Amino acid sequence: MKDKILVLMSEIAAENGVQLRQDITDATVLLDSGLDSLGFAILVARLEEEVGFDPFTLMDEPVYPQTLGELVAIYDRFLPR
């Protein structure tokens, strides 16, 4: 899941002419990653096309990610078993 997210982030950044940080790790704060708000909205939409769900619509209580690691964990949590 993490690899898929990173690949999509790179694609979306390239399509939109924005520069992603080179040193993105699990601890990178998403707001500091270089991808902007539109980029993240597109990322969630593209992930929904690829994995078949938007985890933010499946939560009973809203839990939003601060870091890349938290974003990956949210998607992992809702992956079909």
Partner 1 sequence: MTRPTSRFVPVEAEIIERIRQWRNSDRVRSNMLDDTLISESQQLAWFRGLPLASDRHYRVFLQSGRPVGMLYFAEIADGECKWGCYLGEESVWPGSGLLLEIAALDYAFGILGVRQLVAEVFSDNPAPMRLHEVFGYRKVDERECRTKSGVQRTLVRFEYLQAEWLEARQEVLGRLPRAIQEAAALIQFA
Q: Does 16 bind partner 1 (CB under 8 A)?
A: yes
Specify whether the CB–CB gap between 50 and 4 falls below 8 A.
yes
Of 27 and 79, the one with the shorter C-beta distance to partner 1 is 27
HEC profile for the chain?
CHHHHHHHHHHHHHHCCCCCCCCCCCCCEHHHCCCCHHHHHHHHHHHHHHHCCCHHHCCCCCCCCCEHHHHHHHHHHHCCC
Within 17-46, the residues that bind partner 1 by CB under 8 A are 17-19, 29-32, 36-38, 40-45
Site for partner 1 in 40-79 (CB under 8 A): 40-45, 54, 56-66, 70
Count of residues that interact with partner 1, criterion CB under 8 A: 30
The contact set with partner 1 (CB under 8 A) reads 16-19, 29-32, 36-38, 40-45, 54, 56-66, 70
